[in-house]
C-alpha cells in the first residue's frame, strides 16, 4: 500500500529512531534518518523524502527550526511534516502547527494513529481506516 | 533608598497638610491630594515612593481607604496619618495592608522620617522577595518540563519496542507472550499518566495553564472519549447515554481530559462484570451536567471532598493496590472550576460512585457579557 515511499525520520534518540524505523519498514516504507537540524535539512535536499517525521527536541535549534527553514525555501516542493513530540500536546501542538507542520502527534500514542496520519498525508485520496 | 523620595500626601485638612509638610525633610518631594479618587489616580500616573494617608477624606472613611489605595497601587508603602487615636482602627488599617499608623498629635520630624524610611525599605525588600519567589517558581516549572521530557523519551522507546513485538513484527507472538506484553504496556501507560499529571499539576500551581474556551459540542467529544476506551474496558460494560445536548462554552481538549480521567478512574475501580456509564444532560438553563457512574466500591463519606485535593488517595481497603500519584481528580477539579463549572462525587459505600461535573451552556456565556455591556 505504501509503494516504497520514503520517510525521513528526524530524531536524536537512537532507540526511538530504531523503533520507528522497524515500525515503518514493517509497513512498507523506506526510511532515511537524521539526528539534528543541519543533518535534517541536508537530508531533505539530498533524499527528497515524501514525508518527514520530526522530533521537536532536536539538538541544533529544535524541530521548530527545521520547520521554519523548510518553509523559507520556496524552490522546494512542500513536504508534509508530522511533528512527533515528547512534550505535552497542550503546549507544543499550537507551536508546531503554526510553524507549518501538517500534523502533531504526541509520542506514546497508539501507533495506529501515527500510521493513519502518515497514510492520510501520503495518499490523501484514499479513505482512511 | 532613592536619593530623593517622592511622597504622596493625602490630606483634606489644609492645616494638617501644612503641619506634615513642615515636618517632612526638605529633600522630600511632596505630591498633595485632598481626595482618595485623585490620590488613586496620582499613584497610577506618577512615580511615588510612599503614601501618607488620612483616613477621613471627603470621599472615603476608615480602613477601606487603605484597601482602595493599595488596590490602585499594590505593594506601595501606605502609612496612615490620622487625628484619631483608635486602637481598633489602627489594627484594621494594618490588616488592610498599611505599613504603619501615625497619630498627628505628638508627631515629630524624627518619627516621620524614620517611619517613612523604614516603610520604603520594607517595601523594597518585599519586592525583591517577590521577584525571587517568581524566579523560583519559573525555574521549578522549567525543571519539571525538562525532567518530564527526559522521562518520556526512554519511556517512548520502550513503548515503541514492546508494541513492535506485540504486533508480531519481530515474529509470531503466542497468546501467553501477548498477555505479558499487554501487562508491560499497561505499566508504561501508567508511568506516562503520572508524568503528565505531575507536569499538569505544576502548571496549575504556577497559573500558566492554558484554557481556551470556545463553543464546544459535547456529544461528539463524549462519544470519542468512550470509544477510545472500549478496548481498555474489556471486562466492564462501558456505555454512553446522552440525549441531544446544547453546546457548552469550554476548552474541548480540557473537557476531554476531565472526562477521560473520570472514565479511566471508574474503569480502574470497577470489578470485572461491572458497568461504567457516562451520561450527559442539561442541569438547568445555565449548565450541562456530565456524570460518570461506576459499580466500584464507592467513596467513603469522609473522603468525598478530600478526593479532589492534591495527592489524595482514597483508602477503602478494596481498590487497586497501586493508586498512582493522587493528582488526577485534583487536575479535574481545577480544570472544571477554571471553566466555570463545579465537580463533585456522590456515592453509597459498596454501591458505586457517581463523579459529576457541570459546564456553562454556550447561551448562558453569551448572555452574561451582553448583560454587562448594556
Domain regions of chain B by residue span = 6-107, 135-205, 214-373
For residue A55, the distance in angstroms to the closest alpha carbon of chain B comes to: 11
A13 min Cα distance to partner chain B (Å)? 8
Measured between beta carbons, the chain A residues lying within 8 angstroms of B145 are: 87
pLDDT of res. B4: 84
Which of B297, B292, B301, B302 lies closest to B328 in space, CA to CA? B292
Note the pLDDT tens digit of each residue in B31-87. Answer: 999 999 999 999 999 899 999 999 989 999 888 999 999 999 888 999 999 887 888
Distance from CA of B16 to the nearest CA of A (A): 57
Measure in Å the smallest separation between the Cα of B189 and chain A Cα atoms: 8
List the single residue in B160, B200, B210 with the smallest CB-CB distance to A23. B160
B252/A111 Cα distance (integer angstroms) = 23
DSSP state of A109: S
- Determine the longest span between alpha carbons in chain B, in angstroms: 98
Residue A42 sits at the vertex; the CA angle it makes with A40 and A43, to the nearest 5 degrees, is 65
With an 8 Å Cβ cutoff, are A19 and B167 in contact? no
Contacts of B335 (CB under 8 A, 6+ apart): B211, B254, B255, B257, B258
- Chain B residue numbers touching A57 (CB-CB < 8 A): 149, 153
Which region among A45-54, B205-214, B229-238 has the lowest average model confidence (pLDDT)? B205-214
* Residues on chain A bordering chain B, Cβ-to-Cβ distance under 8 angstroms: 13, 15-16, 18-20, 22-23, 26, 57, 86-91, 107-108, 111
Assigned domain for A1 exists: no
The C-alpha cell at B280 is: 450527559
Q: What is the pTM of this model?
A: 0.63
Instruction: Return the number of other C-beta atoms located less than 10 Å from residue A126's C-beta.
Output: 10
Is the pLDDT at A89 greater than 70? The verdict is no
Alpha-carbon span A129 to A113, nearest angstrom: 10
Of the listed ranges A65-79, B161-175, B291-305, B351-365, the one predicted with least confidence: A65-79
Say whether pLDDT at A74 is over 70: no
Query: For the residues B103-129, what does the mean pLDDT come to?
Result: 91
Here the ipTM equals 0.85
- CATH number, domain with residue A111: 3.40.50.2300
Coil/strand/helix, residue A39: helix
Q: Please report which confidence band the pLDDT of residue B366 belongs to, taking 50, 70 and 90 as the band edges.
A: low
**What are B's interface residues with A at a Cβ cutoff of 8 A?**
145, 148-149, 152-157, 159-161, 163-164, 167, 169, 188-189, 192, 196, 199-200, 210, 253
The residues, ordered by sequence, that sit 6+ positions from B81 with a Cβ below 8 Å of its Cβ are B11, B20, B52, B53, B54, B102, B104, B107
How far CA B55 is from CA of B15, B23, B114, in Å, comes to 16, 19, 21
pLDDT, tens digit, 9 for 90 and up, residues A30-56: 999 999 999 999 999 899 999 999 988
pLDDT of residue A9: 95
> What are the residues whose beta carbons fall under 8 Å from the beta carbon of B366, sequence distance 6 or more?
B249
A25: closest chain B residue by CA: B169
Judge whether residue B27 has pLDDT over 50.
yes
Which residues of chain A make contact with B253, given a CB cutoff of 8 A?
A: 89-90
Does the structure show a pLDDT above 90 at B13?
Answer: yes
Tell me the CATH architecture of domain B6-107. Answer: 3-Layer(aba) Sandwich (3.40)
Q: How far is B126 from chain A (nearest CA, A)?
A: 32
Beta bridge partners of A7: A31, A51
Q: Are B48 and B42 in contact (CB under 8 A)?
A: yes
Calculate the alpha carbon distances from A33 to A10, A23, A39, A43, B161 in Å: 6, 14, 9, 8, 18
Percent of residues, chain B, with pLDDT higher than 90: 52
| Interchain contact, B152 vs A86, CB within 8 Å | yes
For A13-38, what is the HEC assignment?
A: CHHHHHHHHHHHHHCCCEEEEECCHH
Smallest Cα distance from A70 to chain B, Å:
25
Nearest residue to B104 via CA among B20, B8, B21 = B20
Residue predicted with more confidence, A124 or A95: A95
Residues with Cβ within 8 Å of residue A2, at least 6 apart in sequence? A27, A28, A29, A119, A122
Which 3-state string (H, E, C) describes chain B? CCCCCEEEEECCCHHHHHHHHHHCCCCCEEEEECCHHHHHHHHHHCCCCEEEECCEECCEECCHHHHHHHHHCCCCCEEEEECCCCHHHHHHHHHCCCCEEEECCCCCHHHHHHHHHHHHHHHHHHHHHHHHHHHHHHHHHHHHHHHHHHHHHHHHHHHHHHHHHHCCCCCCCCHHHHHHHHHHHHHHHHHHHHHHHHHHHHHHHCCCCCCCCEEECHHHHHHHHHHCCCCCCCCCEEEEEECCCCCEEECHHHHHHHHHHHHHHHHHHCCCCCEEEEEEEECCCCEEEEEEECCCCCCCHHHCCHHHCCCCCCCCCCCCCCCCCCCHHHHHHHHHHHCCCCEEEEECCCCCEEEEEEEEEHHHHHHHHHHHHC
Number of domains chain A contains: 1
Q: Is the dihedral of CA A108, A113, A117, A123 positive or negative?
A: positive
**How far apart, in Å, do the first and last CA atoms of chain B sit?**
48
Asked if residue A127 is part of any domain, the answer here is no
Confidence check: pLDDT of B314 > 80 = no
pLDDT value at residue B59: 92
| Confidence at residue B6, expressed as pLDDT on a 0 to 100 scale | 94
pLDDT band at residue A126 using 50, 70 and 90 as cut-offs = low
Element (H, E) at A76: none
Q: Do A87 and B149 touch (CB under 8 A)?
A: yes
Chain B residue closest to A107 (CA)? B156
A112 vs B40, more confident: B40
In this structure, how many other beta carbons lie within 10 angstroms of the beta carbon of residue B90? 20
HSE toward the beta carbon, residue B147, CA cutoff 13 A: 13
Q: Is residue A107 part of a domain?
A: yes
Residue A44 belongs to a domain: yes
Contact state of B152 with A57 under an 8 Å Cβ cutoff? no
Chain B residue numbers touching A111 (CB-CB < 8 A): 160, 163, 167
Where residue B2 falls among pLDDT bands split at 50, 70, 90?
Answer: low
Mean pLDDT, rounded, for B251-280: 92
Would you call A23 and B192 a contact, using CB atoms and an 8 Å cutoff? no
**Interface contact flag, B153 A111, Cβ < 8 Å:** no
Beta strand B60-61 pairing with B29-33: unpaired
Contact list in B for residue A15 (CB cut-off 8 A) is 154, 157, 160-161
Fold held by B214-373: Heat Shock Protein 90 (3.30.565)
What pLDDT is stored for residue B119 in this prediction? 93
Pick from A25-34, B146-155, B190-199 the range whose average pLDDT is largest. A25-34
| SS3 state of residue A115 | helix
Distances B257 to B24, B242, B246, B264, B298 between C-alpha atoms, Å: 60, 19, 20, 10, 22
Q: Which residue of B has its CA nearest to A89?
A: B253
Q: How far apart are the first and last CA of chain A?
A: 13
* Greatest mean pLDDT among B108-112, B231-235, B322-326, B365-369: B108-112
Sort out which chain B residues have CB atoms less than 8 A from A108's CB and list them: 152, 155-156, 159, 188-189, 192
The answer as to whether A96 is a domain residue is yes
In the A/B pair of chains, how many CB contacts fall below 8 A? Answer: 56
- Res A112 pLDDT > 90: no
Which strands make up the sheet holding A81-85, listed edge to edge? A30-34, A6-10, A51-55, A81-85, A103-106
DSSP A9: E
* Domain span including residue A106: 6-122
Amino acid at each position: 500500500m505504501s509503494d516504497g515511499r520514503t520517510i525521513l525520520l528526524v530524531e536524536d534518540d537512537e532507540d526511538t529512531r530504531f523503533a520507528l524505523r522497524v515500525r515503518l519498514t514493517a509497513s512498507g516504507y523506506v526510511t532515511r534518518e537524521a539526528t539534528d537540524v543541519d543533518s535534517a535539512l541536508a537530508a531533505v535536499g539530498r533524499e527528497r523524502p515524501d514525508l518527514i517525521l520530526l522530533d521537536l527536541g532536536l539538538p541544533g535549534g529544535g524541530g521548530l527550526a527545521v520547520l521554519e527553514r523548510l518553509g523559507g525555501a520556496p524552490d522546494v516542493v512542500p513536504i508534509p511534516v508530522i511533528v512527533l513530540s515528547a512534550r505535552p500536546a497542550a503546549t507544543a501542538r499550537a507551536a508546531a502547527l503554526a510553524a507549518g507542520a501538517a500534523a502533531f502527534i504526541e509520542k506514546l500514542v497508539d501507533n495506529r494513529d501515527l500510521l493513519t496520519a502518515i497514510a492520510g498525508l501520503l495518499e490523501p485520496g484514499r479513505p482512511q481506516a | 533608598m532613592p536619593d530623593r523620595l517622592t511622597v504622596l500626601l493625602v490630606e483634606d485638612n489644609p492645616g494638617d497638610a501644612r503641619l506634615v509638610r513642615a515636618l517632612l525633610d526638605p529633600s522630600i518631594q511632596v505630591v498633595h491630594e485632598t481626595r482618595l479618587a485623585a490620590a488613586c489616580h496620582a499613584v497610577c500616573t506618577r512615580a511615588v515612593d510612599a503614601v501618607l494617608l488620612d483616613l477621613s477624606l471627603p470621599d472615603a472613611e476608615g480602613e477601606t481607604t487603605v484597601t482602595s489605595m493599595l488596590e490602585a497601587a499594590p505593594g506601595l508603602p501606605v502609612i496612615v496619618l490620622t487625628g484619631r487615636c483608635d486602637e481598633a482602627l489602627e489594627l484594621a488599617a494594618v490588616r488592610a495592608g498599611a505599613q504603619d499608623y501615625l497619630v498627628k498629635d505628638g508627631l515629630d520630624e524624627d518619627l516621620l522620617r524614620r517611619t517613612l524610611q523604614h516603610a520604603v525599605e520594607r517595601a523594597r525588600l518585599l519586592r525583591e522577595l517577590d521577584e525571587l519567589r517568581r524566579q523560583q517558581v519559573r525555574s521549578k516549572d522549567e525543571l519539571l518540563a525538562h525532567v518530564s521530557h527526559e522521562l518520556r523519551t526512554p519511556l517512548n522507546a520502550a513503548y515503541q519496542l514492546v508494541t513492535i513485538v506485540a504486533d508480531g513484527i519481530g515474529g509470531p507472538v503466542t497468546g501467553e507472550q501477548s498477555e505479558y506484553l499487554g501487562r508491560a504496556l499497561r505499566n508504561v501507560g501508567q508511568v506516562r499518566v503520572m508524568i503528565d499529571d505531575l507536569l499538569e499539576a505544576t502548571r496549575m500551581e504556577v497559573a500558566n495553564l492554558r484554557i481556551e474556551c470556545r463553543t464546544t459540542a459535547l456529544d461528539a467529544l463524549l462519544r470519542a472519549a468512550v470509544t477510545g476506551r472500549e478496548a481498555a474496558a474489556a471486562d466492564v460494560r462501558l456505555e454512553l447515554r446522552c440525549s441531544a445536548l446544547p453546546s457548552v462554552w469550554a476548552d474541548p481538549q480540557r473537557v476531554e481530559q476531565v472526562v477521560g480521567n473520570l472514565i479511566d478512574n471508574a474503569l480502574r475501580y470497577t470489578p470485572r462484570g461491572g458497568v461504567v456509564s457516562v451520561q450527559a444532560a442539561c442541569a438547568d438553563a445555565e449548565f450541562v451536567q456530565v456524570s460518570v457512574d461506576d459499580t466500584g466500591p464507592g467513596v467513603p463519606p469522609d473522603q468525598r471532598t478530600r478526593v479532589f485535593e492534591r495527592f489524595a488517595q482514597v483508602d477503602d481497603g478494596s481498590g487497586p493496590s497501586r493508586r498512582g500519584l493522587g493528582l488526577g481528580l485534583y487536575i479535574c477539579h481545577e480544570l472544571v472550576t477554571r471553566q466555570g463549572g463545579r465537580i463533585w462525587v456522590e456515592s453509597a459505600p459498596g454501591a458505586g460512585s457517581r463523579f459529576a461535573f457541570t459546564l456553562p451552556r454556550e447561551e448562558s456565556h453569551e448572555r452574561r457579557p451582553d448583560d454587562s455591556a448594556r
